[in-house]
Amino acid sequence: MFDLSYFFSVFPIIASKLQVTLLLTLTAAVFSIIIGVTIAVIAYYKIRIFYPITRFYLSILRGTPLVAQLYFFYYGLARVSEIILNMKPLTAVALVLSLNTGAFMSESIRGALLSVDSGQKEAAAMLGMSELQTIRRIVLPQAFRVSLPALFNDLINLLKATSLAFMLGVRDIMGQAKSEGAQSFRYFEIYLAVMIIYWLLVLGFSHLHKIMDRKCMEMY
């Protein structure tokens, strides 16, 4: 039977690890956007040396499970790299999530870059702008608005993917829930609390997306 009193007692215990989940999400999000923009620009201009490398990178990261990537990086590569062997689990998870989400974000950003009218780039070239100035001042600002829905979708997926961090020993929301479940075996109440916390976080990100989308509409 559902124990309401236990649910209300365990909810704040699990929620106490919210800062770990948010730190992991926001850290990975920042680096994911950097990776995504870099790869998207390389793909957009098809830079000769880096383009085939990024295609291979995307094929691997988008074509394999995130769980396998986490285990391969933290346990597999640790056998050949002392740096990874001594790396903290939270750092390892943040790195793998950044690489994984960055691969998905790059495709969203690349599609947005392709949506920018080529006539604007030609006009920028006639005004004497360099390729770098054109991409920074004209293409990227417009592409950002177009890619905003897809990027927030990737961000929400990243938030939910952080729930795998407990598999490497990170004490986040899921890690705390697993610890509580091992003691009380009240999995119904515990994982209901987990689902509610993640649901509220997703609602928060969705609300932020609406605000940013409205701001972008006002700017353009």
Number of domains in the chain: 1
pLDDT value at residue 219: 64
How many whole angstroms separate alpha carbon 195 and alpha carbon 3?
Answer: 17
CATH of the domain at 184: 1.10.3720.10
Distances in Å between the Cα of 107 and the Cα atoms of 64, 74, 112, 113, 147 are 16, 26, 9, 10, 10
**Residue 135 carries which DSSP code?**
I
How many whole angstroms separate alpha carbon 151 and alpha carbon 101?
Answer: 10
Amino acid at 35: I
- pLDDT category at 180 given cuts 50, 70, 90 is very high
Q: Which residue has the higher pLDDT, 215 or 50?
A: 50
What is the pTM assigned to this prediction?
0.89
pLDDT in tens, 38-87: 999 899 888 888 999 999 999 999 999 999 999 999 999 999 999 999 99
Average pLDDT estimate for 123-149 = 80
Contact 115, 143 (CB under 8 A): yes
Amino acid at 69: Q
pLDDT value at residue 144: 81
Amino acid at 42: I
Return phi, psi of residue 64, to 5°: -130, 150
Length of the chain: 220
Domain that holds residue 207: 4-219
pLDDT value at residue 119: 77
Average pLDDT estimate for 196-217 = 89
